Amino acid sequence: MTARLSGVDVQSLVFRGVVLAVAVIGSIAVDGFADVDNLRALLSSIAIVGIVALGLVFVTISGNLFILSIGATMAVSSVIFAALVGDLGIVPALVATIGAGAVIGLVQGVIVGRFSGDPIITTIAVGSVILGFGQVFAGGDTIRAGRDVSVLRSDVLDVIPIEGLVFIVMAVVAYVLLTWSRFGAFVRLTGENREAARIAGVPVVGCTIVCYAIAAAAAALAAAFLSARAGQGRLDVGIGMDFDAIAVLLVAGVAVTGGRGSVVNVALGALFIGMVANILAVLGEDYATQLFARGIIVLLALIAAGVAGRLRKDQS
Amino acid sequence: MSRRIRWGVRLALLVGLFAYFAIAGRAFLSTGNLYTLGEGFAMIGIIAIGVAVTMLAGEFDLSIGAIASTGGMIALMAGEDSTWVGVAAGAAFGVTVGLLNGVLVGYLRMQSMVVTVGMLVAVSGLGAELTDGSGEPLDNFDLSAGVVEAIGEVFSIRSLTTLAVIGVVGLVLTWTRIGRDVRAVGSDRRAAAVNGVSEPRVMITVFVFSGLCGGVGGSLLAYSLAYAQADFSGGLNILLPAVTAAVIGGVGLAGGVGTARGVFFGSVTMTVLSNGLGSVAASAAVISLSTGGLLLLIVFLDAQEKALGRRLSERRLLRTRAGP
């Protein structure tokens, strides 16, 4: 047990060291990286994927790997937000969008938690169904936001982008929930050993359902921000978002078998991938190169996690 | 459900769809459309058999769709003058990625979902870089014409390749040692190890094979379209119908269960469904809803059956304990 814990700590320390190193080297060596305006853009760009990843981490820690319907959930949510905001106003529309996301997550949680559907195949299938509904709803068009939503892309107190603030608040809340609350303990136990948790009296089905609802609600919130950024809702909003968020979790080294995983590392993972992309952008590289760099980072993280896991097993 | 009933349901679904589209669809049964069906089957089938083999071994290759789209780009870049060179390059790419998947899963004992989803991100990133995020066109249209040329009116090199691959997999699974090993590892890992089956070897075999299927399928598709499109969905558009085909064909989600014959039937069913929906001019929404809904239904039935099996075996256990 000690060996395993120290193994995890070493992995986590190395990761944090690398993040710090990139931040320091970026500030010193890359002209324009440490500018206030660029840092603001950086925060705003990592906030969206960060919010999604912080939701997804609940599902992963509860032992159900990933969700592959995040892109579809975001697409539909962006359309819902744009369609509702004109009549309802910004805050009610936000609440309704997050609620719709929670319902989408809830359905998947029921299928996986109550009826033991395979988590990956279930969410791929649900993603396709949601997108179908979205196409019926939007009729293949973009939906214009019915009012001025620029407040959702403004800076709070002229300093910090609003989605960046939401991301930071969410990180704190997720940390507190998973580390100190009863619910967090339940989620960890469910992820560690579902059967043992059930016997110990943990409401595993309820836990699973809530985790899926949180993840999908977070995706819906992120989609509302994207919707506000573009001033419209579109079904191509979430394309690739599934893998953006999964890449963050893989790089952060969240145990994908469930049970453990650090919220701090997830937030740092989003920061890390965002920083690398941002530095490449400042250096004049295009989006394709940023994706390529991310691919290499994920590949290295995978190999490192594999080797570390093997060493841990050999130790114990 | 007994095996015979399962096959009955599957055949009824296929025949029902076929009959419906033959009556309702425009020109569904024309020679031209049968050829189109074959082309659709070529892609769904080769990806389905690749992913099915990993499922048989109790694992899952999420990266096969991304391998196919990036493999197609590599094929068109390497093989501007020769289809053989291009397909070989695409295949070599698929095998390389598959080998890496296999080593990480087999030797480093990582979960295949984790490894392959990471590989999906990496391979998609490579694809974006290769094409600068747009696409790779093939200027040599003669090569494309060779790939799409009809053989015996309704077949082509592509559909015949897929048929051959599925046939070979059927033979290998039934008659060879490695085929039995794959199934053994998929149904009971511990028992397989006790009987001397090398799990890492099985993992390398299945992931290299699925990488190969992705590489070859993607390359041939790219030649037939004379274009390889950058794919920002991580190949999910390719993966979804193929996985649905495999599970309709009776490949179990928990490993150890499934046949090449079943994958063939599942792929034909999925092809008929998507092509038929096109022939009755269904909207994109209907296509998404029906593919996703069908897959969801099967996941649900599969889980119910597993739960039923568990209850039955528990009851049997209780009876033995209470015995005379």
pLDDT tens column, A38-80: 888 899 889 999 999 999 999 999 999 889 999 999 999 999 9
Write a three-state SS string for B15-34.
HHHHHHHHHHCCCCCCHHHH
In percent, the amount of chain B with pLDDT more than 70 equals 94
Instruction: Measure the CA–CA gap between B272 and B40, rounded to whole angstroms.
Output: 9
Q: Which two tokens stand for residue B292?
A: 């996703």
The three-state secondary structure class of B267 is helix
In this prediction, residue B91 carries a pLDDT of 97
Contact B266, B55 (CB under 8 A): no
Distance between A272 CA and the closest CA of chain B, angstroms? 16
In percent, the amount of chain A with pLDDT more than 70 equals 93
Say what angle helices B31-56 and B64-78 make with each other, to 10 degrees.
Answer: 120
In this prediction, residue B324 carries a pLDDT of 43
Both ends of chain B: CA-CA distance in Å?
30
Q: Which two tokens stand for residue A108?
A: 């998947």
Give the closest of A256, A291, A301 to B129, CB-based.
A291
Alpha-helix runs per DSSP H in B188-282 = 189-194, 199-225, 236-248, 260-279
pLDDT at B321 over 70: no
pLDDT at A305 over 90: no
pLDDT at A316 over 80: no
In this prediction, residue B147 carries a pLDDT of 80
Contact A302, B115 (CB under 8 A): yes
Residue A303, chain B, CB below 8 Å: the answer is: yes
In this prediction, residue A40 carries a pLDDT of 87
Neighbours of B169 (CB within 10 A): 23
- At A232-281, the pLDDT tens digits run 888 888 888 888 899 999 988 876 666 677 889 999 999 999 999 989 98
| Chain B CB contacts of A68 below 8 Å | 236
- Model pTM score: 0.90
B residues 272..291 contacting A (CB < 8 A):
283-291
In this prediction, residue B2 carries a pLDDT of 59
pLDDT at A214 over 60: yes
Q: Residue A129: pLDDT band by 50, 70, 90 thresholds?
A: very high
pLDDT at B236 over 70: yes
pLDDT at A4 over 60: no
CB within 8 A of B228, min separation 6: which ones?
B69, B72, B73, B75, B76, B131, B135, B136, B138, B218, B222
Residue A110, chain B, CB below 8 Å: the answer is: no
Is the pLDDT higher at A274 or at B319?
A274
In this prediction, residue A2 carries a pLDDT of 37
Residue A298, chain B, CB below 8 Å: the answer is: yes
Interface predicted TM-score (ipTM) of this complex, two decimals: 0.88
Q: What number is the average pLDDT over the span A112-141? A: 87
| Chain A CB contacts of B288 below 8 Å | 128-129, 131-132, 135
Q: What number is the average pLDDT over the span B115-134? A: 89
Distances (CA, A) of B36 to A310, B28, B164: 48, 10, 18
- At B165-187, the pLDDT tens digits run 999 999 999 999 999 999 999 98
B residues 73..112 contacting A (CB < 8 A):
104, 107-111
